[in-house]
Amino acid sequence: MFSKLCVEIFELATNKYHEADNVDTPMPMPFPNQSIESVLFKKNWIDAVQWHLEDIIRNPSIDPVEALKIKRRIDASNQERTDLVEMIDSFFLNKYSNVHRHDDATINTESPAWAIDRLSILVLKIFHMNEETKRVDASNEHRFACEKKLKVLLEQKEDLMTSIDQLLNDIEQGKKWMKVYKQMKMYNDPALNPILYQSK
């Protein structure tokens, strides 16, 4: 099952990130370049870094200049995340390019890669919620509440994995077909963001 491969790689990347737990740690790469495994690892690593950048920028005493630098970094990270999602979809488009589509085949509400994107974030949520259940400086009530949330997240992970594999199976059998739209993000494009092109 492809979702199982994703979770294994996402958990590996999440755990590797938290060995140093520093947003400036260079990303290791245990997989061959250009492999789908390397793309999945990089996807989750970038998600992990961005997760912590989002934490840092919410520090109420953060220096405004530093906050702006981090905001720019988050913007660049979002663009890279989107590019990686589109790479994953390209992998599936190529893999299923010769599948005969049924006449009554339908389009899914989201592509496989965007569901996999949600799975990557979910693995990070599970990691951090599990950490909260073990906080010695937190109250029993806090840990108990987090245990309940963790249980829901784990159930959600199983459901999402099942849904991803069902979608891929339906595409492979021609019951569903992939029609992928590029995200065409506008805020990073100096030709499309009016603030950027009017400032020239």
- 125 in the Ramachandran plot: left (φ > 0), alpha (ψ -120 to 50) or beta? alpha
Q: Is the dihedral of CA 28, 154, 106, 79 positive or negative?
A: negative
Give, as one character, the DSSP assignment of residue 35. Answer: S
Q: Which residues of 34-69 are buried (b: 16+ CB within 10 A; e: fewer)?
A: eebbebbbbbbbbbbbbbbbeeebeeeeeeeeeeee
Query: What percentage of the chain has pLDDT greater than the value 90?
Result: 87
Q: How far apart are CA 64 and CA 68, in angstroms?
A: 6
Better-predicted residue by pLDDT, 183 or 111: 111
Q: How far apart are CA 197 and CA 200, in angstroms?
A: 6
pLDDT for the residue 189: 72
Per residue in 83-100, pLDDT tens?
999 999 999 999 999 999
Closest CA to 181 of 81, 121, 109: 109
Per residue in 14-43, pLDDT tens?
999 999 999 999 999 999 999 999 999 999
Please answer whether residues 61 and 26 qualify as being in contact, where contact means their C-beta atoms are separated by less than 8 angstroms: no
Per residue in 172-198, pLDDT tens?
999 999 887 776 666 667 777 776 677
* H-state helical runs in 21-104: 36-57, 64-95
Pair of tokens at residue 61: 């005493």
Per residue in 132-174, pLDDT tens?
999 999 999 999 999 999 999 999 999 999 999 999 999 999 9
Residue 130 has pLDDT above 80, yes or no: yes
Task: State the chain's mean pLDDT as an integer.
Answer: 94
pLDDT for the residue 182: 72
Q: How far apart are CA 171 and CA 116, in angstroms?
A: 15
**Radius of gyration (Cα) for the chain, nearest Å?**
19
Q: How far, in whole angstroms, is CA 59 from its chain's centroid?
A: 23
Long-range CB contacts (within 8 A, 24+) of 150-154: 150/126, 153/122, 153/125, 153/126, 153/129, 154/126
Please answer whether residues 30 and 39 qualify as being in contact, where contact means their C-beta atoms are separated by less than 8 angstroms: no
Please answer whether residues 48 and 6 qualify as being in contact, where contact means their C-beta atoms are separated by less than 8 angstroms: no
Pair of tokens at residue 9: 């790689």
